[in-house]
Structure 1
């Protein structure tokens, strides 16, 4: 009986997998490990509210740092006398970017989840502003709607965690406040109770984390400089000490962090053993998708929706997190193999029980 139940559960989950797959992104040419697949900037992006609390300085539009690596590490380490070697290896143009005008925001605290969910508040407004300010609002609405924006997965009986019953009052308040800030003919459908929940689910399901760090940019740049073995050893020790100072003063090192909506990246499906990964090599919100293993023409390009720590957790924990945040039950190749091993183990146990009888 136990084996038949496992088989039934596996078959049902695989059926869901076929129904819930996203649009998918497929290779049209071969890519070697380390090769860049694509680059793109988001339709909209936004910093987390906690950046201000931690005194991070970054452009409100593109999230490019507005402090030098030396200023960054001095603040994080609480040591104003730190001097970084090779300061010119990073181009630190601290002039306000040309795309930034006078910026003023009003943050409404509604006791939602702490970051990353708090960024949803500003991303919602920016999505609506993207539509309102577009020269072709109808086309802008269509671009937003191409993102996965289901609030519920009826087949798997899943509801996005941002839309739980405990947040009903907060969501209603947030919707009313949003309607007071921005309104118009082309965004009315997103300001109804149902439409607003759809917009919230869209952000929660598609938001790609963005991180920038002047210190990390300096470390990557300085490690690429040619130097003697002794100099390299001394530099490695110096960098280790820097991160130790930062951890002692500020805790686990935090980047300037936020979230964005990317049209191409959002088409990538998840795998617990991905063949591509996302990075931000330019120190702003420009995303780069790079192959982590060889990809052949026609092969689907997969990324992981989970961070590195979550990928190390159990099969059950990964499936739970993906169901809560992305409304699907994951049965990628890695999880299918784990389920097969579990099924095989269960069959072996049943055989032992039969022999004992």
Structure 2
């Protein structure tokens, strides 16, 4: 696969800010970016029970099968790993001595539960992120600066959260690596706009997939949103590959040189009002893509007009499996020959097109 730097370039997109465009003509199915997470942390609240029916490794986030041995952290009883290798890697990265001590304090301090009960449940997950951010600063200050360079500005609610989390967490780390209230707020704002979800496995009979972890991929954050995207994200978190938490961006259709490449920030195929609400509540903008313009004017005739490009797109690229509705993209071309097999980025289903 060619380097992403030879396939993509960043440009200012009118009305959007920075975005990613094709540096040359690209084919449907091409993998245009594979990226490891800059920061990765559990989506499980500190105290409230997780919504996930699965237990995951606290480093790679693969499901821990019930019949296999698990490897607990030797310093605490709260974190387990799928292998000795994951435990060793975690002790030198995601679950360092400082992280372990901080999480033990938050989980076992007699006042922690009471303090967190005075805040919304999301504060417990944000605490995990701020602990992970301190750890990132300890390991690599330059990577923390990369995280801080991403888009996102704190509002008053984020500053309130930052004051609370800073008072609890910063004193648990070495003084030279303690993050200020302002930086804590900046980090929370970056996390809100730039984090991606790693999900539990799909099941056609349910329950609805839960979020097992959050991750930030700095390059991928520059893909703008479109309700009818020309690229989509794949992850293979429950595979055996050592890079199982990497994100893969694959093209859905051919993209000419100079055209912007967009992903959807949620599963495609949702109605206009739902999309508009999610984008404003979660990302703070109103989408001006061609599909939204048409639907806002009521020109789609209730999405019954099969001649409209977005209607044809949805019929071809929305997975039809029960409880799925993921995005289907072609497999990578072989020897420049396009594939006629589509893969769903949500359930992993394959479909051959004639």
Give the TM-score taking structure 1 as reference length.
0.60
- Displacement of 1:24 after TM fit? 1.1
User: Is the CA contact (8 Å cut-off) linking 1:48 and 1:118 kept in structure 2?
Assistant: no
| 1:146 match | 149
2:40 is aligned to 45
Change (3 A) 1:114 1:254: farther
Instruction: Report the secondary structure of 2:292's partner residue.
Output: helix
User: Deviations for 1:113-134, whole angstroms, at most 9, x for unmatched residues?
Assistant: 556x753321222122212222
Aligned residue for 1:25, secondary structure, equals strand
Contact 1:319 1:329 in 2 (8 A): yes
Which protein is richer in helix relative to its size? 1
Q: Does 1:121 align with 2:127?
A: yes
Residue 40 of structure 2 aligns to a residue in which SS?
strand
How many residue pairs align between the two structures? 251
Out of 55, 60, 63, the position equivalent to 2:61 is: 63
Q: Does the Cα contact within 8 Å between 1:22 and 1:267 map onto a contact in 2?
A: no
Larger radius of gyration: 1
Q: Is the 8 A contact 1:26 1:300 kept in 2?
A: yes
Matches within 5 A, 1:1-357: 18-19=14-15, 21-49=16-44, 53=50, 54=52, 56-67=54-65, 94-97=83-86, 98-101=88-91, 103=95, 104=100, 105=103, 106-107=106-107, 110-111=116-117, 112-114=119-121, 118-134=124-140, 137=141, 139-152=142-155, 163=157, 168=160, 171-182=162-173, 184-185=175-176, 188=179, 191-192=180-181, 194-211=182-199, 213=201, 247=205, 252-254=207-209, 257-281=212-236, 283=238, 284-306=244-266, 308=267, 311-341=268-298
Higher relative contact order (CA 8 A, sep 6+): 1
Q: CA RMSD for the aligned pairs?
A: 3.5
Q: Is the 8 A contact 1:124 1:203 kept in 2?
A: no
Deviations 1:194-214 (A, max 9, x none): 43322211111111111254x
Structure with greater strand share of residues: 2
- SS of the equivalent of 1:32 reads coil
Q: Are the aligned partners of 2:44 and 2:212 in contact in 1 as well (CA < 8 Å)? A: no
- Whole-Å Cα distance in 2 between the matches of residues 143 and 185 of structure 1? 19
Q: Distance in 2 between matches of 1:305 and 1:259?
A: 14
Gaps of 5+ in 1: 1-16, 72-92, 153-158, 217-242, 345-357
CA–CA distance in structure 2, aligned partners of residues 36 and 50 of structure 1: 34
Q: Distance in 1 between the 2:300 and 2:43 partners?
A: 43
